[in-house]
A and B are shown apart, each in its own frame.
Chain A
Amino acid sequence: MATEILMPALSPTMEEGTLAKWLVKEGDTVSSGDILAEIETDKATMEFEAVDEGIIGKILIPEGTEGVKVNTPIAVLIEEGEDVSALPEAAPAAEAGNEAAAPAAVEAPAPAPASAPAAPVVDLSPDWPADAPMKQQTVREALRDAMAEEMRADEDVYLMGEEVGEYQGAYKVSQGLLDEFGAKRVIDTPITEHGFTGIAVGSAFGGLKPIVEFMTFNFAMQAIDQIINSAAKTLYMSGGQMGCPIVFRGPNGAAARVAAQHSQDYAAWYMQIPGLKVVMPYSAADAKGLLKSAIRDPNPVIFLENEILYGRSFDVPQVDDLTVPLGKARIWREGTDVTIVSFGIGMQYALEAADKLAEDGISAEVIDLRTLRPMDTGTIINSVMKTNRLVTVEEGWPQGSVGNYISSVVMQQAFDYLDAPVINLTGKDVPMPYAANLEKLALVTTDEVIEAVKQVTYR
C-alpha cells in the first residue's frame, strides 16, 4: 500500500521549511533510518530519515521548494510490485496535519472580578488551649524538641546536614539528637550542599521523610536546583504520583557582622515557587508547632529560622503534641488604627513599635504571618477592613518583596477599605555591609516601623 511521506516538523517551533535537497530518487529502495532529504528549518539544515521501508514511488515536492508547510505530502512510498502510475500527480495539501496538530490553547479562565468586599472567612481557632501550662524555652530548644518528638513518632524521619551529629549542630539546634537516635538517623554530611540535598530529595521519593539542615540558607543556593526543580516540581510533573515529603531548615536572614554572603533573607525567593510551602516562625511555640507540622506535611517545606532568635525565650505551651497548622497567621496584638504585618525577626520590630505607638495613642494590630506559602491573606484583609491602613515589615530586599505581594492582594481585595497607601518596609537595597554602623543602617528598625505607621495614619 502506498504511504505518503509528510513534511516533518523538525524543531519545536517549525511550521514550514525549505526542502533543500533530495538524497533519494524515484525508484530507490529505502529502509528505516536512511536519509531521504535535507530540510532547512527555522534553526538549521536537518536530515530527514525514513521511518518505513519501501520504494520511493513518487517525489511530490521538488528540491529547492521553499515554504513547504509541515505535514504536506512530499513523496509517496510504495511496496515492491506496486504501480507507480496509479499514484496521483500531487496530493492535495494535507489537511490531516491540521487536525493532528495540537489543539489551540484553551482560553484562560477569566481573572476573578475585583472583589465585592466581603470579609474572608479565616481560621480563628486557638492553636492551643488558653489554660495550657507554659514553660519558658528558647527557639533553639523548641526546634530540637520538635525534631526529637517527630523522630520518636516516625522511624522514617531522619536529620541530615553539616555538623548536625557529632558537633551537635553548628548552632546547637540538633543538640542531643545523635545520642538519642544514633548515626543512622542523625547524619553528618560532607560540605556538599548540592549533592546531599539531591540525596535527601531522592530518599524522600524513596519513602523517607528527611529533615535537611542547611548550616545557613545562604549555602542552600548551592542546592537550589534540587530544591526547586526536583523537590517542588516532581509531584506536578508526575501527574500526582511522586510526592516529596521533606523539610529544608536552617537559619536565614541577617546574623550579626557576617557581611554580604552570610546575611540574606530568602523568604521572597522561596515564596514564589508553586509546590513549596514556606514557613518563617518568630516565637518558640510557633517554631515548635510549625516544625512538627512541616515534618508531617507530605510536601517540601522551606523552614526559615533566624540565628538571632535562636537564643530568645518565649512561653511554650506544655501540651502533648503541640502542632500549629501551616498557612495560618497569628494575631499577636489586636488594634484598630493600623495593621502591621510581619514574620520572623521582623515581628520583633513590629511588636516593639506597637508598644511605643500605644504610648502615643495609636492602636496597632500586629499580625505574624508565620507561613508565607500558603499565605493567610484572609487574616490580613479582615484586619485592613477594620484598620484601613497597612504597613508590612521584613528584612529582605525591597524589589519583589513579600510586602509587595501583600500590597497587590490588598489592592485587589480591599482597595476600597484603604485610607492610605500601603508601606512596605524592607531591608535597604544593598548587599549587607560589615561595618557595624552601616550594617545597622541596612536593616529595618523599630523606629522605621513607627515612622511608617505615623505616615499611614497621617500623624
Chain B
Amino acid sequence: MAARKTTKKPNVSAEELKTYYREMLLIRRFEEKAGQLYGMGLIGGFCHLYIGQEAVVVGLEAAAEEGDKRITSYRDHGHMLACGMDPGGVMAELTGRIGGLSKGKGGSMHMFSKEKHFYGGHGIVGAQVPLGAGLAFADKYKDNGRVTFTYFGDGAANQGQVYETFNMAAIWQLPVVFVIENNQYAMGTAQSRSTSTKDIYHRGEAFGIPGEIVNGMDVLAVKEAGEKAVAHCRAGKGPYILEVKTYRYRGHSMSDPAKYRTREEVQKVREQSDPIEHVRELLLSGKHASEDDLKAIDKEIKEIVNQAAEFAKESPEPPVEELWTDIYA
C-alpha cells in the first residue's frame, strides 16, 4: 500500500471534504454496528465488513454521474451506502427482515437497487465481473453514455472469467471501469502467495486495457483516478482498470480469526493510513472545520446508524408467504 501523501495541498472545497468525511464515517459506523448486531445474534450467516476500505467507494462515487451503474461482490455494504441506498433498508436486510432491501431474502451478500443503479451484491467470487461488463454492454447497445463500475478483489483477480471478460470488454470497447479493490488478502491468502504479479492491473496490458495503481487510503486520489477512468470510458475508448490498494481492518468475514497477519500490521495501517483520519486532518489543518463541527457530524452519523439498527430490529420477519414469491417474474 502506498503511503499517504499529506504534503500536497489538495484542490478541494471544504464542503466536498466534509461530504467525504461524512460518507466514509457513515460506512465505518454502520459496519461497526453491523459487527455488534452480528455479535448479538441478530445477523446470521456471512457478514463481510468494509472497515478500512471506505475511501475506495466514496472516492469513486464522487467520480460517477447520475445513471452510472455499479456492481460488486459480497463485501457490499459500503457500496450501497455510498451510492445512497437507505441505511435502514441495508441493515434490515442484514437482520433478515421484511424491511430489508431484498425483503430479507438476500441477506448481507445480496441486495440490489434499480433506482440507485446498484446491481448487487454477488456471492460467487469473480462472477460479478462479466455481469458488470454485461451492464456496460447494455449501455453501449443503448448508446446512453453511461459507465459501469465493476468492483472485485485481489482474490477474484485470479478467476478465469475475469480474463475472459477483459478480452471481450476490450474487443467490444465496453464502457466499464474495472476496480480491483486490492486489500492484499484473498480471505486468508496473502497476495504474494496467490498472484504471480505484484501489480494486478498489469494483467490488463495483455488485453490492451490501460490501468493504474491508486492509493485507496486517500479519497482524493481515488476520486481523481476515478474521474480519469470514467472520462476514458465515456469517450468511447473502452475499459479501464483501477487497482486500488487498500486494507481491510477486520477479518474476511465475521468468523475469521485473521491469524494470517499480525496485529501489528493491522494497527500500523490504522494509525498511519486511515482514510477517515486523513480527511479529518485535512479538514482541521485547512481550517475547514473545527473539532466541534466534526463532533456534530459524528453525532449525526451515530444517530443515522442507530436509527438504522432500530429499524432493523423492529422490522418484522418476512411473512411465510414470501417463501414462495419472486421465483418467477
Contacts and interface: CB of A to CB of B under 8 A. Distances in A.
A239 B106 contact: yes
Interface in A159-195: 184, 189-190, 192, 194-195
Contacts of A245: 329
Contacts of B328: 235, 275, 277, 299
Contacts of B158: none
Interface of B: 32-33, 35-36, 38-42, 44-46, 51, 69, 71, 96, 100-106, 110-114, 119-124, 127, 129-139, 141-142, 160-161, 164-165, 167-168, 171, 249-251, 254-259, 263, 270, 313, 317, 320, 325-329
A420 to B, nearest CB: 35
Contacts of A239: 100-106, 326
Interface stretch (A39-47, A54-62, A132-140, A261-269): A39-47
17 contacts: A6-B39, A100-B41, A184-B141, A192-B168, A196-B130, A199-B134, A199-B137, A202-B138, A205-B119, A206-B119, A207-B142, A230-B131, A234-B120, A238-B102, A238-B326, A239-B105, A240-B329
Contacts of B138: 202-203, 205-208
Nearest to A45: B257
A272 to B, nearest CB: 13
Interface residues of A, number: 69
B35 A235 contact: no
Contact of A199 (B168, B270, B329): B168
B118 to A, nearest CB: 10
Residue among A11, A45, A103 facing the most chain B CB atoms (10 A cut-off): A11
A121 B44 CA distance: 43
Contact of A194 (B51, B161, B257): B161
B111 to A, nearest CB: 7
A40 to B, nearest CB: 10
Given A12-B45, A195-B168, A100 B110 contact: no
Contacts of B122: 230
Interface string A48-90: 1101000000000000000000110000000000000000000
A311 interface: no
Given A45-B257, A194-B160, A206 B139 contact: yes
A8 B40 contact: yes
A7 B41 CA distance: 10
Nearest to A41: B255
B51 to A, nearest CB: 8
Contact of A241 (B114, B160, B256, B325): B114
A240 B114 CA distance: 11
A5 B299 CA distance: 21
A433 interface: no
B22 to A, nearest CB: 17
Contacts of A226: 127, 130-131
Nearest to A98: B41
Contacts of A6: 39-40
